């Protein structure tokens, strides 16, 4: 029996360095489309979205953030690797406690057993669409 599709609640944080934001990047294996998304992740049951983004940044980067404020909520309905998805995305702004993190061109992200690099991408490059900034609707909050 197939799993019933569900709506997933996530929180992401726009970490800014001048005209750049910190993003993880990937590629849809079906369409080949490249995408970029600010860091974050799932909200646990009974967890407030603000608490979730602070936890996610600590888990993924080993970094604490402060001055966390909600910018808005984006509903994201999409197709990724041939499968439909639906997310409610709580978008936050924040600042690293450790200022040295802003000096690095990439940051190592750990997500379970998987590691990857997050990069500072200019808003101008992201506006040009390669990679595509996701979720759609995020531009209205920038």
In this structure, CATH architecture of domain 8-126: Alpha-Beta Complex (3.90)
User: Do the Cβ atoms of 90 and 43 come closer than 8 Å?
Assistant: yes
Is the pLDDT at 112 greater than 90? The verdict is: no
> In the chain, what are the domain boundaries?
8-126
pTM here is: 0.94
Q: Return the DSSP state at 64.
A: -
CA-based nearest residue to 87, from 41, 22, 118, 29? 41
pLDDT one-digit tens code per residue, 81-105: 999 999 999 999 999 999 999 999 9
Task: Quote the Cα angle for 83-89-94, to 5°.
Answer: 135
Name the band, by pLDDT with cuts 50, 70 and 90, for residue 3: confident
Q: Return the DSSP state at 2.
A: P
What mean pLDDT is predicted for residues 125-135? 93
């Amino acid at each position: 029996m197939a799993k019933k599709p569900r709506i997933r609640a996530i929180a992401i944080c726009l970490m800014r360095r001048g005209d750049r934001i910190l993003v993880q990047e990937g590629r849809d294996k079906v369409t080949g489309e490249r995408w970029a998304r600010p860091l974050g992740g799932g909200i646990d049951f009974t967890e407030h979205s603000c608490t979730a983004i602070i936890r996610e940044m600590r888990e993924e980067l080993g970094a604490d953030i402060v001055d966390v404020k909600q910018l808005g909520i984006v509903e994201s309905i999409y197709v990724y690797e041939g499968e439909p998805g639906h997310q409610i995305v709580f978008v936050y702004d924040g600042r690293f406690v450790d200022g040295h993190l802003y000096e690095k061109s990439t940051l190592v992200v750990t997500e379970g057993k998987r590691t990857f690099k997050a990069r500072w991408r200019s808003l101008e490059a992201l506006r040009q669409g390669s990679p595509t900034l996701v979720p759609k609707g995020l531009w209205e909050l920038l």
